[in-house]
Amino acid sequence: MIPICTPSESQCSSANEVAPGLLMGDAPPERARPPGINTVVLCAKEYQPRRAFGGLRTIHAPLDDSGPPITTEEIATALHAGRLVAAELRSGRKVLVTCAMGLNRSGLITALALRLGYGLSANRAIARVRAARGPRALSNPSFVELIRRVHP
């Protein structure tokens, strides 16, 4: 687990490496500048600060994880974000994908990036996310279904 803290280290979040250059975690404090990270992806609908993280490139992919199945608009948002993350990784950039708890929404984008960027099977992408973040990661059935439907 990698801590992501503000300069004063009074507020921290955590992330785990899922693949080389690809980290997944909970929402970092707005004043944090994650070390070595080039791009931050914000997947929590309720946490979308516009100017944060010391000027790092920020990809906004607001998703809901409150219970209803994923919407058509959210599917488009997730696929777009997954493609952007895959492109960042191919360019040698280090990416941190986040959501409130670092389990479902960030897991969806991370798994999609693994599918779209590296051609991993759905089962392997899901397994890598769960190995990094724990068995509660990707517990949203509609997110898992989308990961399984996407073809690289």
pTM value?
0.93
**Total number of domains constituting the chain:** 1
Measured CA to CA, the distance from residue 127 to residue 68 in angstroms comes to: 24
* Low pLDDT (below 70) residues in the chain: 3, 5-10
What is the per-residue pLDDT for 16? 93
Q: Cα(first)–Cα(last) distance of the chain, in Å?
A: 29
Measured CA to CA, the distance from residue 6 to residue 105 in angstroms comes to: 23
Q: For residues 115 and 152, is the Cβ–Cβ distance under 8 A?
A: yes
Measured CA to CA, the distance from residue 53 to residue 75 in angstroms comes to: 26
Which residue range(s) make up the domain with 102?
A: 2-149
pLDDT in tens, 110-135: 999 999 999 999 999 999 999 999 99
Measured CA to CA, the distance from residue 4 to residue 27 in angstroms comes to: 9
The enclosing domain of 36 has a CATH number of 3.90.190.10
What is the per-residue pLDDT for 68? 82
